[in-house]
Amino acid sequence: MTKTANTMWGGRFAAGPDAIMEAINASIGYDQRLAPQDIAGSRAHATMLAATGIITDTDAAAIKEGLVTVLSEIETGNFAFSAALEDIHMNVESRLKEIVGEPAGRLHTARSRNDQVAVDFRLWVRDQCDLADAALAGLQKALLGQAEAGADWVMPGFTHLQTAQPVTWGHHMLAYVEMFERDRSRFADARKRMNTSPLGAAALAGTSFPIDREMTAKELGFDRPMTNSLDAVSDRDFALEFLAASSICAMHLSRMAEELVIWSSAQFRFVKMSDKWSTGSSIMPQKRNPDAAELIRAKIGRIFGANVALMTVMKGLPLTYSKDMQEDKEQTFDAADNLMLALAAMTGMVADMTANRESLRQAASSGFSTATDLADWLVRELGLPFRDAHHVTGSLVAMAEGKECDLPDLTLADMQTVHADIRADVFDVLGVENSVDSRMSLGGTAPAQVRAQAAYWREKLE
Ligand code: ARG
């Protein structure tokens, strides 16, 4: 009787668990992206094994040549990936064996998949830092083009999304150039810190073979070998730093995307997206939707998600390698892909959009945007304490509101009913151009400041 029972669940387990085990265990579905890095790492390792006399020059030559063949098979789509071989490392090695025979078996001397995957992934993330930097520089240039064209175009500056003070279009564009510059420096900083080689840490403890870790580090463009083998195989800080920098960059992109969505609305009309970056509606013929901006705003969630996911994978992991760490790759790939896509789309949109100078100016001239200029005039010219000037200005705003006009539309007589000493030259500061021209403090919105900043960026970005 027990035999029957055994057969029953033995039958279920013999086939079922194997297939599911393979499904949960295999990473080849996504880590095949690491093929170029895996092969670069293996070639460096083989060179070093021969240089140190651990394998013969003949074997190393066969291995390295075979690896080139494997890579070209992968790159041309002539490679049969196998889930039974789990991951990119074993897929490559197994094919190498088919191509070069016995020497292939010597490649894994003094190495483990643990240091191998750490090298591959580091090299991949390092490349992404460089790609992000180049993409951000492109976006900065597109923004700079806008800033140079509209250094003196007046627009409303907002706080709380309420009209605050007039600013210039160029100033607003350069604000993003600054943000993206900090993003670039975060990627550069992360890159510098990640640029150390785990290769030679082997499984976790190092190796008894006389390897030369300086040599492989140099060959792969790393600054130096990592100094603790336990740390080398279990560190994923480099990917986390990349994801953290990506998240902050993505946050900047989403803020900008949100502004473009608002600015391209019929209520604002600050910008017109080019046809290339707009979509229509199948039912409402008047629509011109800023879909790319909306998608950038939304895609950011996946990037934040990848950051949180990997932090969560890593938290609580005992030293050294655990299979949990295989879950570091898929989301990092997705985050990097979507960051690059968002950067490219934002760059295209910014380069091709047209600011509506008239709408910007009109909006800047409404909403009592020069109220602060008026208060400052009362302080400067009449010697009022700022608090009193604020109060007087408040009364004048209320008066204008009552008359349904803006501050420059009040007459001098109107104004003098609130404060008798107000003179006609007050009108000089109520115009939006005068307002921005006067903001000459360092980093201020005056066109002269904006032009100087733009010139600085032009030189830096060229
Ligand atoms: N595919 C594995 C990963 O991505 C490679 C390392 C496997 N190491 C091991 N000890 N099973 O993490």
Q: Which of 281, 322, 366, 395 is catalytic?
A: 281
Which ligand 1 atom minimizes the distance to the CA of 87? 1
What integer pLDDT is reported at residue 15 of this predicted model? 54
For residue 456 the two structure tokens come to: 């600085």
User: Do the Cβ atoms of 113 and 321 come closer than 8 Å?
Assistant: no
User: Do the Cβ atoms of 249 and 339 come closer than 8 Å?
Assistant: yes
User: Do the Cβ atoms of 33 and 124 come closer than 8 Å?
Assistant: yes
- Would the CB of 140 count as within 6 Å of ligand 1? no
CA distance 422 to 265: 40
What integer pLDDT is reported at residue 281 of this predicted model? 73
> At 284, is the pLDDT very low, low, confident or very high (cuts 50, 70, 90)?
confident
Those residues whose C-beta lies under 8 Å from the C-beta of residue 330, and which sit 6 or more positions away, are 30
What integer pLDDT is reported at residue 9 of this predicted model? 38
Percent of the chain beyond pLDDT 90? 87
pLDDT greater than 90 at residue 6? no
Would you call 281 a catalytic residue per the annotation? Answer: yes
- Would the CB of 124 count as within 6 Å of ligand 1? no
* 213 Cα to the center of ligand 1, angstroms: 21
Tell me which residue has its CA closest to atom 7 in ligand 1: 113
Give the residue, out of 114, 313, 317, with the most ligand 1 atoms within 8 A of its beta carbon, to mutate for a pocket test: 114
pLDDT greater than 80 at residue 163? yes
pLDDT greater than 60 at residue 462? yes
Residue type, 74: I
User: What is the pLDDT averaged over residues 140-144?
Assistant: 98
392 phi and psi angles, rounded to 5 deg: -60, -45
> At 14, is the pLDDT very low, low, confident or very high (cuts 50, 70, 90)?
low
What integer pLDDT is reported at residue 1 of this predicted model? 34
Those residues whose C-beta lies under 8 Å from the C-beta of residue 83, and which sit 6 or more positions away, are 22, 23, 26, 28, 29
Which of 16-30, 94-108, 188-202, 330-344 bottoms out in mean pLDDT, i.e. has the lowest? 16-30
Tell me which residue has its CA closest to atom 10 in ligand 1: 114
- Would the CB of 42 count as within 6 Å of ligand 1? no
- Helical axes 169-194 vs 113-149, angle rounded to 10°: 160
pLDDT greater than 70 at residue 23? yes
